[in-house]
C-alpha cells in the first residue's frame, strides 16, 4: 500500500503526516505500507487536490483540506487492505 501526504510543509500538513504514521503503526502489517510526503504543487493539481493537506491511498484521493484523526486514518487504511 502506498500512502501519500500532499502538502507544502505547513503545520496542518505535518500534523496529517504524524497522524498517518500513528495510524500505520497501529495496523497489523505496517511494513507493507509506504508513506511519502509530496510537496510538488503540480502533482497536487494532477491528483485534483486544490486544498492541502491531501491524503492519497493507492492513487485515490481520500481527504483534502482537513486533518483526519489517527483513528479515522486507521479505519481508511484497514478498509483498503
Task: List active site positions.
Answer: 10, 13
Q: How many CB atoms lie within 10 A of CB 62?
A: 18
Beta bridge partners of 35: 3
Tell me the chain's radius of gyration from C-alpha atoms.
Answer: 11
Run of H or E including 36: strand 34-38
User: How far is it, in rounded angstroms, from Cα 10 to Cα 34?
Assistant: 21
Amino acid at each position: 500500500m502506498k500512502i501519500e501526504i500532499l502538502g507544502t510543509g505547513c503545520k496542518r500538513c505535518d500534523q496529517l503526516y504524524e497522524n498517518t504514521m500513528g495510524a500505520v503503526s497501529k495496523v497489523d502489517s505496517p511494513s507493507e505500507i509506504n508513506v511519502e510526503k509530496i510537496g510538488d504543487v503540480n502533482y497536487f493539481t494532477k491528483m485534483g487536490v486544490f486544498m492541502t493537506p491531501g491524503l492519497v491511498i493507492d492513487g485515490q484521493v481520500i481527504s483534502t483540506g482537513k486533518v483526519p484523526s489517527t483513528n479515522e486514518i486507521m479505519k481508511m487504511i484497514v478498509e483498503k487492505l
